[in-house]
Structure formats: C-alpha cells, structure tokens
A and B are shown apart, each in its own frame.
Chain A
Amino acid sequence: MSTRSEIPFTVLVVCTGNICRSPQAERLLQAEVLRLGWAGDVRVSSAGVAALVGQPMPAQAAAQTIGYGGNPTGHAAKQLVEPLIEEADLVLTMERAHRAAVVRMVPRANRFAFTLPEFARLALDLRASGEAPPTDAALPLSQRLRALVPEVAAGRGLSLPVEAEHDEVEDPYGRSDEVYARSARQVASAVATVVEVLSELSRPDSRG
C-alpha cells in the first residue's frame, strides 16, 4: 500500500444504518482531531453495512453527540463499499458482525478492522505492555499512526474481554433515550481511550 507522507491517516467507522453509532464516533473523533491539531494528518469518515442512505442523525443521537463535544450537523448516511475500506488505514466497527462484513468485502482488512471497544482495549494493552516501538521523529504523523495499527493488532488474543459483548457497542436505534445515552457513553469512552493512547504512543519523544 502507498505510504506517501501527504496521504492522511484514514479512519473509517462502520455500523449498521450509519445514522447513530458510527456518525457519533466519527464526529467525536473529528472533534479530537481538531483539538489535537491533526486536521491535515488524519481523516475520519463513516458508513453503514445497511445504510439508511442520505438520512441525518436521529435527534437523540445528535443530542448525545453534542453532549460529548461533537458536531452532528451535516451528516448524511452512506453505504459501505469496497473502496472506502481499501483506502482506510483503520476500520472501527460497532459490532463483530460489522467487522466480519468489512473483512468479507476486503479480506486484507482483517489486519486493520476492529470493533471500536476492542481497539480501545488492545490500545490500552499495548500501552501497558510497553512493547510499542519507539516512534521515528523523522516520519510524518500519518505514517507514525499507520505504524501503530499492526502493533495494536499484535495484541489480539492476548487478553480477552470479560464478556464478548464488551467488545461491542449497543444499537440504540428505535430504543429509549436511556439506551441512546448508554450507547453514546460506550462510544465516547472508547473514542477517548483510542485518541489518548494513539496520541501518546505516536509522540516523537515517546520511547517504547
């Protein structure tokens, strides 16, 4: 794959309809990217395996997004297609079934497709293990982040989630406000973890 420095590190978030969970994660990630000043180096988008194409976020999902500091405006759901996966460096899904769907479309994605909570868990494991290689300060941020994905992937299977469901984000669509809140909390905490660990491990002065 091309690793030209000007190509930003591309994150694709995937859920079922691309109106609740994945746009929430996308917008929260984008907010973090802006906060960290990574705007030119990281690109975030989202899609759904069975997208309600063109639809915006439902009110509850939008409200939750705002509550966690994301901007829900201007979202339009889009269908997951192969090119989106092929150009992604990291695919974060909400359920294991989505991860399987992504890998079925592009088999190579088994190296960089995770569920969002799984990736957060593995990122924490990587940080705790201290096995992350030192970052090369000469490389641009996008490449440093790209190099971290296989490092995180190497931790798969070394620790198991307490419950398999812990690696998934609940689907709030058509459910109560309470479920929307719970689901959004899962998304937000996983996003926070992922950003925190990736920014820490990709810092040029960090030594593994």
Chain B
Amino acid sequence: MELRDYLRILRRNWILIIVITLAGVAGGAAFSLLQTPSYEATTKVFVSATGASSVSELNAGNSFTQQIVRSYAEVVTTGLVLDPVISELGLDDSVKDLAARVTATATLNTVIVDITVADPDPVQAANIANTIAENLIEAVPDLTPPNADGVAPVKITVAQSALVPADPVSPRVSLNVALGALVGLALAIGIAVLRSVLDQRIRGQRDVELITDRPILGAIAYDPKAKDRPLIVHADPLSPRAESFRSLRTNLQFVDMGTERRSFVVTSSIESEGKSTTTANLAIALRDSGMNVCVIEGDLRRPKLVDYLGLEGAVGLTDVLIGRAELSDALQRWGRNNLFVLPAGQIPPNPSELLGSAAMAKLLRELESQFHLVLVDAPPLLPVTDGAILSRQTSGAIVITAAGRTQRNQLEAALKSLASVDAKVHGIVLTMMPTKGPDAYGYGAYGYGYGYTQETSAKKR
C-alpha cells in the first residue's frame, strides 16, 4: 500500500476515526473525574553549617553541609519527624502512610531541601508541609548536638513556607484527555487500516487498477432510486447518473473492436451488479447519438432486460436460433428511433450450448451487418460460462463491477475466466459508485458545459 492508499482509508473511515478518538477523549476525561484530586504543597528549608572561619573550613563546611542536607532529606520521612506531625495535626495516617505522601529532595549542589506533601485537601497539604518543616528544625539538636561552644553546627531555616495550592497536581485533566485522544486515534487508525486490509470489496477505481491493467471505461453514479427508474437516460437525462452513461458512451468510441466485429458483451463477475440496467441505458445513450443499435438479451437463464424496457419477451433469441421464429419478427423496436431489442425468448435447457453454436455466430454477424453496434447482455461470469462463450462470439467483453459489492478475488476470477478462453476484455465499468467521498470517480473534475441541478444526492454510506 502506498501513502495515498492510507489517505483514502482515512478519508473512507473518517467517521469511525472521529468517533473512536472522541471516545478516547471521553475516556480520559472520565478517568480524570473518577480520581480523587490530589494537591501538593512544598516547603523549602535551608540547611547551613555554621562556625566556618577559613576558606578551607568553609569548603569543608560546605561539603559537610551538603552531606548533612542529604541526610536531613532522608530524615524527613522518618518517624522522628513524622510522629510529632501526626500527633500535632491529629492525622489518621500511620508514619508509613504519611511517608508515602511526603517527598523530601535535596537539590543537587545546593543546601536546600524541598519537602513536598500530597493530600486530597489543599489546606491540609500546606499544613502538613509546614508542620514537617517545624518538626525538622526541632529535631536538629537531637541529630547534630551542639558543640562545646554551644553553637549548633547545623542550622535549618524555613526558606519558603508551603502555600495552599490552587490547582490539584493530579488528575492532570488536559494530559489525560490528550492521552485518551492519542490512544483513541491510534486505535481508530489501526482498526481502519485493518478493516480495509480485510475488506476485499472493490471500492473504486484504485482497487480495479490494482487487479487489472484494462481501462476503466466508465463509472456509473449510484442512485438509490435506480430500481424505480432503471432507464435514467430517458427518464432524467440531466441527472449525474444519466451523464455517467453518456461519458461511458463517449469512452466506447476508443474501444478497438477490430475490423470485423461491431458487437460486444456486457457481463459481470457476480449477479446484481447492474448489467441489464447498464446495457439498457448505454443502448439508449448510443441511440440518442444517432446510432442504429441492437441489444440482445443473452441471459437465457434470468432475462431481465425486457422487463426494464417494457417489452414482451416471450419470443426472441432462442426461437430465432432454433428456427422457430424469423429474426425480423423477433426483433422489437424500442421507442421511436433505431434501437432494436432481441429478447431471450423461451428459456432453453442448454443455454451455453445455444450461445456457443454456429447459428449464434451467424446471427451475430447478420446483426452486425444491419446495425452500427450490437450489445449483448450476458449472465455473470462466475456462476456460468455463458458470458465467456458470448465474449468469444463477439469482439469482447465489458465487465461491470459494482463498487462496494464485488470482491477483488471475484473480479480476478471473472477476468481469468475470460482470459482462459482468449476473450478480449475491452474494459471495466464501475457501477453503484458513490458521487462523493474518497472513491468518487472524477465527477466535477471536468465541469459540464451546461447547468444541471443535482436532484439526487448520493446516499452517504
């Protein structure tokens, strides 16, 4: 996968990503709310060694003091200091409990000890810190008795009393929320990437390009109302969907059908990908450009084309092939121009055999001589061989692929089945394409030369 693939994944899953990230934020906030807040108050005491008169003594005194400072820092969390504090303030804690909430640190190369106390109550935190400082000062004579002159070698003064803290140190809401958001985002991206790696469905142009080098001849916009008005080119010529059929028609001009044959098959990998609808609309679009077009219902198993076109399909291809009906009788004109339809006719027990017969080849050649273009609507390639057989009988196949429905391996298998009989694949047509979003096909990449009102906005997935 390339960077743009990842970007597409992110675009496709943006809702999921936002939701999970917000859940992370909410989790961080909830975590913060559930914690008892803790306040910290710090008092600073200054430890000095007295009675130094010379520089060397001063130095010695200093290093002595620094050792002393470290020792006093240790003393802070002992019972010697904390016991009187507990009794003085009437705390419930044992020495061990209180020691856990007290940290005393001697700042390196200084003679200052920071005594920090954590407590759920900010006032209490300051109280304890200050009381500890007082008790530490009181404990000095016991620890370093004064010398002969009655001068105490070590003197501790409070450099800074503990103030009542305004804000709790924990929970640190902003940090927790940021962490939650970060974890949520990472999780969401992970899920999104995993989803698209595991999701084998073809979503758009890019997925097709990864499977085959055959051109994408068109992308038909998804229309939730397609079922109610399959013949969109006729019903609503200005809709984006109708426009996409017209650009497919334009792209077909570049398809090389060879010199002999002016016919092709419209097929797909699996069923319900939009073959018949595409065939019918494409035929109407071709007819609208002034061509004589013939459409053959080549799906002798589940013919749907005539239903879309509103014709009677009792007699058609099969009857012509077995000589029970004349081609001229079976062909039905659709509408007022030169679009003719050959229905499936009676459903035979052996469709593949009939479609591969010499009679079928002869019929196709005859129709090619009468029409500018012959389209054959075929069954899907994976369940039956009819599509591949018909592709051999015509100039080649156009493979319809429904975005968001067909799996990659299905399209691969379908193309393989065509390759195995040496049938030409003219290209791929994507159907049910979203008109917006990361997989949208270059709509709006080229403006239309006329204004159209977009009546149907694609349904958001």
Contacts and interface: CB of A to CB of B under 8 A. Distances in A.
A51 interface: no
A101 B314 CA distance: 7
A131 B337 CA distance: 13
Given A104-B346, A107-B326, A108-B329, A156 B319 contact: no
Interface string A89-114: 00000001001110110011011010
17 contacts: A99-B312, A100-B312, A101-B314, A103-B312, A104-B314, A110-B314, A131-B336, A155-B335, A156-B311, A156-B335, A157-B234, A157-B311, A157-B334, A157-B335, A158-B235, A158-B310, A160-B228
Interface centre among A100, A108, A110, A160 (most CB of B within 10 A): A110
Interface of A: 96, 99-101, 103-104, 107-108, 110-111, 113, 131, 150, 153-158, 160
A112 to B, nearest CB: 10
Nearest to A115: B312
Interface residues of B, number: 24
A30 B312 CA distance: 27
Given A104-B346, A160-B228, A160-B229, 13 more contacts: A103-B312, A103-B314, A107-B315, A107-B330, A110-B330, A111-B333, A155-B335, A156-B309, A156-B335, A157-B311, A157-B334, A158-B234, A158-B235
B315 A157 contact: no
B332 A111 contact: yes
A48 B302 CA distance: 28
A157 B336 contact: no
B315 A158 contact: no
Interface of B: 228-229, 231, 234-235, 308-315, 319, 325-326, 329-330, 332-336, 346
Contacts of B330: 107, 110
Given A100-B314, A101-B314, A154 B333 contact: yes
Contacts of A99: 312, 314
Nearest to B330: A107
A153 B313 CA distance: 14
A154 B332 CA distance: 10
Contacts of B315: 103-104, 107, 110
Contacts of A150: 333
Nearest to B320: A107
A46 B330 CA distance: 24
A156 B312 CA distance: 10
A45 B380 CA distance: 44
A79 B280 CA distance: 37
Given A99-B312, A100-B314, A158-B234, A107 B334 contact: no
Contacts of A160: 228-229, 310
Contacts of B325: 107
A103 B310 CA distance: 15
Ranked nearest first, the 5 interchain pairs of A and B with the lowest CB-CB distance are A157-B310, A100-B314, A156-B310, A107-B329, A107-B325
Contacts of B326: 107
Contacts of A154: 333, 335-336
Contacts of A111: 332-333
A100 B314 CA distance: 5
